[in-house]
Amino acid sequence: MKNDYKKIALDGAIRNNPTFKLVLGTCPTLALTTAAMNGIYMGIAVTFVLMCSNALVSILRRIIPKEVRIPAFVLIIATFVTIVRLVLDYFLPDLNDIMGLYLPLIVVNCIILARAESFASKNSLLPSIADGLFNGIGFTFALTLMGAVREILGRGEIFGTRLWNFTIDFFGTSAGAFFTYAVFIALFSLIIGMVKDKKIKAEKPELFDLNAEVK
């Protein structure tokens, strides 16, 4: 049982990281990563919606008929996004302005629909909530990391604190967003590949032994 949750955590946050491995939910990733803090805000909003929608989809998975499941999922997600929007509008109106158009667009964020379809509609309540949480953490982590890099290089700041006066304006622009994202996906694939090689090497050293006889 404990192993199950460990697998969910590793799969959601690292091995199948929604942003760097699966390249889902690209619109907010590119648009909001001009600063590290924006990544955290967006990440928390998405994580909340992801956990709630996964929970509700999991509870209703035997009731929703297969033919209308996608519209039903979208309706569930839209409901939670509306809740987030109303809460933010009331308590943190500034935040609502930062996220602007991208807050309602959480509805069509492919990560949430993908998790509802591929995990929550097949699993029980607790694992589904855990899956939502760890995918959300993976997404938040990715956005914050990209935001930090673009903020440091583009504005010479980190979380709003000035570091130095050296800036490369390119990283603050939309072209810089595409470029940073491309570099991150490539680096992620490189690092995961290296870790995998190391694991195989530890388990089956003969595969890497050049002097071993080829059978």
Partner 1 sequence: MGQFLAIVVSAVFINNFVVVQFLGICPFLGVSKDFKSALGMGIAVTFVMTITCLITYPIYTYLLVPLKIEFMEIIVFIFVIASIVQMIEMVLKKFSPTLYNAMGIYLPLITTNCAVLGVAELVIDETQMINLLGISSMNMGYAVLYGLFAGLGFTLAIVIMSGLREKVARLPINKHLRGFPIAMIAACFIAMAFYVF
> Do residues 73 and 53 make contact, with C-beta atoms less than 8 angstroms apart?
yes
Q: Which is nearer to partner 1, 33 or 47 (CB)?
A: 33
- Rule CB under 8 A: choose which of 101, 202, 210, 214 binds partner 1: 101
**Residues in contact with partner 1, shown as a per-residue x/- string from 66 to 85 under the rule CB under 8 A:** -----x--xx--xx-xx--x
Residue 92 lies near partner 1 (rule: CB under 8 A): no
Distance CA 117, CA 115 (A): 5
Distance CA 38, CA 211 (A): 53
| Residue entry with tokens 């959300």 | 136
Residue 175 lies near partner 1 (rule: CB under 8 A): yes
CB of 182 to partner 1, least distance (A): 4
Distance CA 151, CA 205 (A): 43
CB of 161 to partner 1, least distance (A): 26
At 83, which amino acid appears? I
**Residues in contact with partner 1, shown as a per-residue x/- string from 181 to 200 under the rule CB under 8 A:** xxx-xxx-xx--x-------
Residue 108 lies near partner 1 (rule: CB under 8 A): yes
Residue 110 lies near partner 1 (rule: CB under 8 A): yes
Q: Which is nearer to partner 1, 10 or 75 (CB)?
A: 75
| Residue entry with tokens 């993908």 | 114
Give the residues lining the site for partner 1 (CB under 8 A): 23-24, 26-28, 30-31, 71, 74-75, 78-79, 81-82, 85-86, 101, 104-105, 107-110, 113, 173-179, 181-183, 185-187, 189-190, 193
